[in-house]
Amino acid sequence: MNDSAHYRGRFAPTPSGPLHFGSLVAALGSYLDARAAQGRWLVRIEDIDPPRCPEGAASTILHQLETFGLEWDEAVMWQHTRGDTYQHALDRLIQLDLAYPCSCSRKQWQAFEIYPGWCREGVCDPNKPLAWRLRSDRGERPIRWQDRLFGEQQFDPAELGDVVLKRKDGLWAYQLAVVVDDAEQQITDVVRGLDLLDNTPWQRQLQSALQLPQPRYLHLPLIVTAEGQKLSKQNLAPALAENESGVRQQLFQALEALDQAPPKALATEPPATQLHWAIANWSLARLRPVGHRLTPSSHSAGD
Ligand code: GLU
């Protein structure tokens, strides 16, 4: 790859709880893609929603990454420190007539699939707390891009709705923060879970509006339970192993989940050995563009 010298990837967890197997696969995919391209790999803690982020969760995540040998370059970026920059971006969107204040509550529009845009031409109730929303109907439509695994993508952002950029309680929303920070960290390659594929149109729309560079995107298969549920902190997916043999086994299983076909003997090797092999052998061509992978059975992750 001729742009490999400039490759900059990132892992951007929300510290709402410890990492689970699904987050390990996302972190590992992003790490390997960056390291195989001799690029840099950064970590950004997406702690814009303090009520959802228990004390200590961010440091647990950083510790988990270290335990699995996923070492990052440069200082960790913390989103809770970035409010002024997000405000600046929102001000610019307001100037461009791409963001508008909205007083509507979820309850008011619950009969609709997406927010119907009632406040677009003027706030319905200026006495209520106001959120800020994106005019998803303005700008390039449809939004098209090439996902590195899932190929040609095409979405009409207006069908996805006027996403919230700043919440009524004053907290920043993910879509704006992620775009501003991917640009700040000069990210060239976003590698993350498939659950965020349909967030990408808003992010690309925001990048164009704010005249920010557009990274390449690689969405990775999601890890699901036998019932087809995505592993998540909400459904209490178990935290990653802490003991040595559990760590080795889960790292190996994460390589398998990424279809890298690691040799069996690697399963009991320490993270550094496994990662050394995985970087040298990283192959996106091996990764099947299938949306889901089953979680390895939990009994094998123990002791
Ligand atoms: N913070 C998001 C999450 O934990 C990921 C953001 C991203 O990779 O764009 O789901």
User: How many angstroms is it from 13 CA to the middle of ligand 1?
Assistant: 5
12 lines ligand 1 (CB under 6 A): yes
Q: For residue 11, which atom of ligand 1 is closest to its CA?
A: 8
Residue 300: inside a domain, yes or no?
no
Residue 161: inside a domain, yes or no?
yes
Q: How confident is the model at residue 1 (pLDDT cuts 50, 70, 90)?
A: very low
48 lines ligand 1 (CB under 6 A): no
CATH number of the domain encompassing residue 120 = 3.40.50.620
Do residues 62 and 99 both lie within one domain? no
Q: In angstroms, rounded to a whole number, what is the distance separating the alpha carbons of residues 45 and 59?
A: 10
Residue 275 tokens, joined: 């990662």
Q: For residue 178, which atom of ligand 1 is closest to its CA?
A: 9
13 lines ligand 1 (CB under 6 A): yes
Sign of CA dihedral 200, 21, 62, 189: negative
Residues 93 and 165 sit within 8 Å (Cβ to Cβ): yes
23 lines ligand 1 (CB under 6 A): no
Q: In angstroms, rounded to a whole number, what is the distance separating the alpha carbons of residues 251 and 264?
A: 12
Which positions ≥6 away from 291 have C-beta within 8 Å? 194, 221, 222
Percentage of residues in the chain with pLDDT exceeding 70? 96
Do residues 98 and 149 both lie within one domain? yes
Single out the residue in 179, 208, 239 at which a domain terminates.
179
DSSP-assigned states of every residue in 115-171: ---TTTTS-S-TTS--EEEE-TTSSSSSEEEEETTTEEEEE-HHHH---EEE-TTSP
Q: Closest residue (by CA) to atom 6 of ligand 1?
A: 12
Do residues 76 and 122 both lie within one domain? no
Amino acid 53 reads C
Q: How confident is the model at residue 286 (pLDDT cuts 50, 70, 90)?
A: very high
Do residues 153 and 274 both lie within one domain? no
Q: Closest residue (by CA) to atom 7 of ligand 1?
A: 12
Do residues 172 and 102 both lie within one domain? yes
Residues 186 and 34 sit within 8 Å (Cβ to Cβ): no
Residue 272: inside a domain, yes or no?
yes
Do residues 145 and 94 both lie within one domain? yes
Single out the residue in 153, 179, 205 at which a domain terminates.
179
14 lines ligand 1 (CB under 6 A): yes
Residues 8 and 40 sit within 8 Å (Cβ to Cβ): yes
Do residues 64 and 105 both lie within one domain? no
Do residues 101 and 111 both lie within one domain? yes
Q: How confident is the model at residue 175 (pLDDT cuts 50, 70, 90)?
A: very high
- Mean pLDDT confidence for 181-186: 98
Residue 95: inside a domain, yes or no?
yes
User: How many angstroms is it from 29 CA to the middle of ligand 1?
Assistant: 14
Rg (C-alpha) for the chain, rounded Å, is: 20
Identify the domain containing residue 111 by its residue range. Answer: 83-179
192 lines ligand 1 (CB under 6 A): yes
Do residues 28 and 56 both lie within one domain? yes
Q: In angstroms, rounded to a whole number, what is the distance separating the alpha carbons of residues 13 and 28?
A: 13
Per the structure, the count of domains in the chain is 2
User: How many angstroms is it from 12 CA to the middle of ligand 1?
Assistant: 5
Do residues 35 and 73 both lie within one domain? yes
Backbone angles phi, psi at 5, to 5 degrees: -65, -25
Do residues 56 and 189 both lie within one domain? yes
46 lines ligand 1 (CB under 6 A): yes
Residue 204: inside a domain, yes or no?
no
Residue 169: inside a domain, yes or no?
yes
Residue 98: inside a domain, yes or no?
yes
Q: What is the pLDDT of residue 303?
A: 36
Q: For residue 23, which atom of ligand 1 is closest to its CA?
A: 4
Q: How confident is the model at residue 258 (pLDDT cuts 50, 70, 90)?
A: very high
Can you name the residues that pair with 217 across neighbouring β-strands? 147, 190
Q: pTM of this prediction? A: 0.94
Do residues 124 and 244 both lie within one domain? no
User: How many angstroms is it from 244 CA to the middle of ligand 1?
Assistant: 27
